[in-house]
Amino acid sequence: MSGQGEGMRDTVTDEGYMTADGRKIGGVAMEMRNITLRFGGVVAIKDISFDIRWGEIRAIIGPNGAGKSSMLNVISGFYHPQEGEVIYKGYKRPAMRPYQVAQQGIARTFQNIALFEGMSVLDNIMTGRLHHMKANMFQQAIWWGRAAREEAENRAQVEKIIDFLEIQHIRKTPVSRLPYGLKKRVELARALAAEPAILLLDEPMAGMNVEEKEDMCRFILDVNDEFGTTTVLIEHDMGVVMDLSDRVVVMDYGKKIGDGTPDEVRNNQEVINAYLGVAHD
Amino acid sequence: MPDTLLFALEASLNGLTAGVMYALVALGFVLIFKASGIFNFAQGVLALFAALTLVGFQSGQIPFSHLINATLGTRLHHFGWNMPTVLAIPATVLVMIGLAILVERFILKHLINQEPIILFMATIGLAYFLEGFGDIMWGAEVKALDVGLPKGMSMAVDDATFNWFGYGFYIDRLEIWAAGIAAVLVAVLTVFSQYTKQGRALRAVADDHQAALSVGISLRFIWVLTWSIAGIVALVAGIMWGSKSGVQFSLSLIALKALPVLILGGFTSIPGAIVGGLIIGVGEKLFDFFMNPIIGGATENWFAYMLALVFLLFRPQGLFGERIIERV
Amino acid sequence: MLYREAGDFKTSYVADSQTFPIKFDRYGYYVLLGFAFLVMPLIINDYWANSIVVPFLIYAIAALGLNILIGYCGQLSLGTGGFMAVGAYASYKMMTAFPELNIIFVIIIAGMVTACVGVLFGLPSLRIKGFYLAVATLAAQFFLIWLFTRTAWFYNYSPTGMISAPTREVFGVPVTGPRASAVSMYMICLCFLVASAWLARNLTRGSMGRKWMAIRDMDIAAEIIGVNPLIAKLTAFAVSSFLVGISGALLFAVYLGAAEAGEAFGIDKSFLVLFMVIIGGLGSIFGAFAGAAFLIVGPVLLKLLLVNSLGWPTDLAAHLEIMIVGALIIVFLIVEPHGIAALWRTIKEKLRLWPFPY
């Protein structure tokens, strides 16, 4: 292990590495191996491999249509790649439905907010805890014992997250009445309520103003800090990505063109070409 | 040729004409769905209402006479004259256009931007309203409708099939006419939508509401237009069915079968509506023909829906629909 | 000033998530329950029981059931009449096959049978949505009615094709058959309604209800955050059909006494209950009650007005009734798509501020 002294990053080993700000990153949580995803004739993702480590903030960036959201959808089990495999916690993940993936501790937010508009903020966040609630239908029907107890316990957990994200005042408001920025925050709350092992954020700052972005950045860092949640995020705002993330995957036209620390990626010629364009002559 | 096969063939030919009927009602559905995204449950009742109005005009009935008699104690029934069919049909068309304007003015305008399911339920409400309204306006008794279409067994078909197979098929001439008129109607509609300005506007709206609005097409006008056309299609369907089995409430129930037709054909495809209608018409006759000895009769009541259900399980997007790709 | 929540502090999450968080509501509810159980049995007579109260209680159960399916889980069904028929025929077969079985159990088991049939016809909902599902449930409606009218076993080979309820007793008091009194009919329906409402409320307040609502609001997102759509949809079908089946069994055994599938449980019943749910308010327990009350009491009042006071012929009044119901549906959808329940909520919000609106 070398390089710690100068505040440089460790070489990434199997056991993990140390970040610039001194956080210890663990071993491999999830590994994508040679993922290829096609829609009919269109290749959305072409032979991409990378890994996600316990405790790190991992960003996926790339121009529009690069296949970032498709990648996230592969991780959350919504799309099933034609080739390649997903290794999670050391085992190859079999083809499973999205809800099974969620039950394995992978929670996410969506690019276009996907809250349940007909429910209150509290109920929305409570849906994040569904797989922590085990009471069966009959226990719930008579609302006795386990069902009532579980409801109160999980409510207490949810209230912690409500406090953490500072949304106490809108607890009982119907989600449909909230402004955009708050909706994004409620969505994060719902994902956090699941106490996920890996948190997927699909453009968490899209369409926000500077102040809201700063708030969101703080929340993402705090979440990582407080709960040690492994976070994978897609984001367009370069400044945000470089500040937030420990390692970055760069995609372009469905291919991986770069992978490494923000500094490494910034200096990668291919990445520069993809973002700034290159004269084809 | 073995007899069973001949009988089955005859049954399926009879089914074809019922299928034309279903297809006509389904056509009205498709027109409205394409133009406004509304699943118009009232299409069947529209056909009933059109037929009732036509009979009313023809026989010179006084509208609401029943109601007027009940409130004022009078004994009104008829004006005392009969309107010739050539006048009665245009008059009914005018009524259907008026109805389209009222529907737009009092229902659609207020429900813009509501979820499809709300609009769907509103058309169920409209169906109930029109049913009650039609009954109050023209009376609820079964009425005979005669617009001068030929009836009775078609000798030509009988002779021809007798010469070919040695067994004469029984086909009603009315049904041959019905098929012919339906074909003409579809042709006219196609020409209208391809070659006229309104038709192009209609297709533009069907394609993309927002974009159509932004190039200056009036959505409200288009809605009145489509509901008028749907009303006219309903009138044709009403005439066919009314000539065959009288104008009565069961007409609107038969029109419910247009729903499975749509499932087979897809909600936005005119050829789909026609093919779907024919499949259901023939299918239910054949199913009844073969299954009647085994499970009993009256399977027409549910065959169409069951067929649609089974079909949906394998191809949720319909025969001609495109595959749905879900996105987040 | 009377109606407010200020000063009514909650100190636990349990207290905060109770059914009637406002004191005034809670006491109102107790008073209503007391009235229904203690006072009504003393004052109810045959006319009131037969024309309004008993049908209201029975249809309220059906509306509760359908509201769970449509209002909470977002699955449109037009097969309610067919499922009510399942409840009715199941109770009939049970009553005739096991005469000594208590009628309460007969009705509950009839509900369970209906739940199984409901799950069976709910299976397509895994593949199809919205209008498509509505058409698929029409298959249930027409097929079930056909089955019950065509298969003699279901009506015990009776020559009329009708089923008729034999006399059955609860605590020695006949509740079905010709000897049942208005009070006993009222009481058994009331008990089933209160139990159904309690059940529905419990199921919709907890994780089950949230799963249903998540599927209703955005099914894809629901699945990605961990809701198993298979289980959520099928439980909604099961619970909904259970309640609808109970209401069908009560309608046949207690209220009608004799029935024929096509006539008593036709497609018009499906629409009637659907209208109750829409007018009352989708996704609201209170709405099911309000909608049932509206569509049971409304026509009776209309008939009283038109036929008895103005002397109109009954058929004309019936047509006007259809017309008015249709118009009301449209008006409600335009003015308040969430029905009477939402109107009621608005009134309560206003009351909270009254008499100082700022």
Can you point out the beta strands (E) in A89-216?
Answer: 91-92, 106-108, 198-202
Tokens matching residue C178 = 């010709």
- Provide the number of structural domains found in chain C: 1
Backbone phi, then psi, for C160, in 5-degree steps?
-85, -15
Strands (E) in B101-221, as ranges, are: none
C-alpha distances out from residue C144 to A141, B27, C83, C151, C281, Å: 28, 28, 8, 10, 28
Residues C234-265 as b or e (16 or more Cβ within 10 Å = b): bbbbbbbbbbbbbbbbbbbbbbbbebbbbebb
Q: Is residue C36 part of a domain?
A: no
User: C-alpha angle with apex B82: B76 to B88, nearest 5 degrees?
Assistant: 110
User: Rounded to 10 degrees, what is the CA torsion of C174, C175, C177, C182?
Assistant: 100
DSSP β-ladder status, A24-25 and C163-164: unpaired
Residue C171, pLDDT score: 87
Which residues from chain B sit within 8 angstroms of residue C79, using beta carbons?
A: none
The string of pLDDT tens digits covering residues B165-187 is 777 777 777 778 888 888 888 88
Yes or no, beta carbons of A110 and B325 under 8 Å apart: no
- State the burial class of residue A42 (Cβ atoms within 10 Å of its Cβ: 0-12, 13-18, 19+): exposed
Picking from C326, C75, C261, the residue whose alpha carbon sits closest to that of residue B49 is: C326
Using an 8 Å CB-CB cutoff, list chain C residues near A127.
210-211, 214, 222, 225, 227
Which among B103, B19, B99 is positioned nearest to B286, based on CA atoms? Answer: B19
Residue whose token pair is 């329906």? C189
Chain C residue with the nearest C-alpha to that of B117 = C130
The DSSP bridge partners found for residue B143 are B247
Q: Token pair 């069902």 is at which residue?
A: A147
Contact A111 B328 (CB under 8 A): yes
Q: Residue C325 is nearest to which of B128, B260, B308, comparing CB atoms?
A: B128
Spacing of C-alpha A84 from chain mean position? 21
Q: Contact, A70 vs A37, CB < 8 A?
A: yes
**Closest Cα of chain A to B113: distance in Å?**
15
What confidence score (pLDDT) does residue A109 get?
93
C215 occurs within a structural domain: yes
Closest chain C CA to residue A77: C224
A234 pairs with which residues across the strands?
A60, A202
Q: Which domain holds residue C173?
A: 44-265
CB–CB contact C329 B70 (8 Å): no
Average pLDDT, stretch C203-225?
92
Per-position b or e across B296-326, b if 16+ CB within 10 A of its CB: eeebbbbbbbbbbbebbeeebebbbbeeeee
Model pLDDT, residue C3: 64
Residue identified by tokens 């309107």 is B83
pTM, to two decimals? 0.89
The chains in contact with chain B, meaning 3 or more Cβ pairs closer than 8 Å, are: A, C
Choice among B29-33, B174-178, B324-328 with the minimum mean pLDDT: B324-328
Q: CB–CB of B76/B69 below 8 Å?
A: yes
Q: Is the peptide bond before A204 cis (omega within 30 degrees of 0)?
A: no
Question: b/e string for C79-103 if b means 16 or more Cβ within 10 A?
Answer: bbbbbbbbbbbbbbbbbeeeeeeeb
- How far is A185 from A165, CA to CA, in rounded Å? 7
Q: Spell out which chain A residues touch chain B, with contact meaning CB-CB distance below 8 angstroms.
A: 39, 69, 73, 78, 110-112, 114
β-pairing, A91-92 vs A83-88, is antiparallel
Measured CB to CB, residues of chain A less than 8 Å from chain C are 76-78, 97-99, 101-103, 107-108, 110, 114-119, 123, 126-131, 133, 135, 137, 140-143, 147-148, 150-152, 155-156, 159, 190-191, 194
The whole-number average pLDDT for the span B54-62 is 85
Secondary structure (DSSP) of B203-219: HHHHH-HHHHHHTT--H
Summarised one tens digit per residue, pLDDT across range C258-272 is 888 888 998 889 999
Domains within chain A, CATH numbers bracketed: 1-105+246-276 (3.40.50.300)
The model's pLDDT over C104-138, given as tens digits with 9 standing for 90+, comes to 999 999 999 999 999 998 888 887 777 788 888 98
In a domain, C60, yes or no: yes
Q: In the 3-class helix/strand/coil scheme, how is chain C assigned residue by residue? A: CCCCCCCCCCCCHHHHCCCCCCHHHHHHHHHHHHHHHHHHHHHCCHHHHHHHHHHHHHHHHHHHHHHHHHHHCCCCCCCHHHHHHHHHHHHHHHHHHCCCCCHHHHHHHHHHHHHHHHHHHHHHHHCCCHHHHHHHHHHHHHHHHHHHHHCHHHHCCCCCCCEECCCCEECCEECCCCCCCHHHHHHHHHHHHHHHHHHHHHHHHCHHHHHHHHHHHCHHHHHHCCCCHHHHHHHHHHHHHHHHHHHHHHHHHHHHCEECHHHHCCHHHHHHHHHHHHHHCCCCHHHHHHHHHHHHHHHHHHHHHHHHHCCCCHHHHHHHHHHHHHHHHHHHHHHCCCHHHHHHHHHHHHHHHCCCCC
Would you kindly state where each structural domain of chain B is located, as residue ranges? Answer: 3-314
Question: Would the CB atoms of C337 and B131 count as touching at under 8 Å?
Answer: no
Burial label for C358, CB within 10 Å (0-12, 13-18, 19+), is exposed
Contact between chains at A130 and C207 (C-beta distance less than 8 A): yes
Q: What is the pLDDT of residues C167-200, one digit of tens each?
A: 888 888 888 888 888 899 999 999 999 999 999 9
pLDDT in tens, A22-64: 778 888 999 999 999 998 888 999 999 999 999 999 999 988 8
Contact B16, B281 (CB under 8 A): yes
A41: helix, coil or strand?
Answer: coil
Name all chains with 3 or more CB-CB pairs below 8 Å to chain A: B, C
Question: CA-nearest residue of chain C to A125?
Answer: C210
Predicted confidence (pLDDT) per residue in B252-286, tens digit: 676 688 888 888 887 777 888 888 888 888 888 88
- Residue C119 domain flag: yes
Calpha distance A156→B18 (Å, rounded): 63
Residues of chain A with pLDDT under 50: 1-9
Looking at beta carbons, which residues of chain C come within 8 Å of B313? 124, 127-128
Res C212 pLDDT > 90: yes
Position A205 scores a pLDDT of: 87
- Quick check: B257 and B304 in contact, CB under 8 A? yes
Instruction: Return the bridge partners of A250, or none.
Output: A61, A258
